Amino acid sequence: DTGVSQNPRHKITKRGQNVTFRCDPISEHNRLYWYRQTLGQGPEFLTYFQNEAQLEKSRLLSDRFSAERPKGSFSTLEIQRTEQGDSAMYLCASSFRGQWGYTFGSGTRLTVV
């Protein structure tokens, strides 16, 4: 297992288009997190899954954002009708239920033009 994998690494899209990102966590990790990181800032929590259940969504996650984790394995984050303010690095992380520390992926950098 090579860690948390995120695809694509970079995405450039026009304003108003929909985009989808994928995260493959470490296989035995049952917790999965999405964070967003803008330039010069620390990551901000977006949402969290335990197995396939999405247990919490941050207020940062507007109705245009949706995340899924079918079968408790990989996860997808979709942004509909993208806006320039959505430009950021989207980070995925995973952990065991009893573990405090996360393992982050390398992120997907989204640029909305």
Partner 1 sequence: GENVEQHPSTLSVQEGDSAVIKCTYSDSASNYFPWYKQELGKGPQLIIDIRSNVGEKKDQRIAVTLNKTAKHFSLHITETQPEDSAVYFCAATSDTGRRALTFGSGTRLQVQP
Binding-site ranges for partner 1 (CB under 8 A): 4, 31, 33, 40-45, 48, 50, 55-56, 58, 91, 93, 95, 100-107
Nearer to partner 1, 44 or 52 (CB): 44
Nearer to partner 1, 4 or 67 (CB): 4
Alpha-helical (H) ranges within 20-90 are none
Least gap, CB of 60 to partner 1 (angstroms):
11
CA atoms within 13 A on the CB side of 54: 15
C-alpha triplet 42, 59, 17: angle, nearest 5°: 85
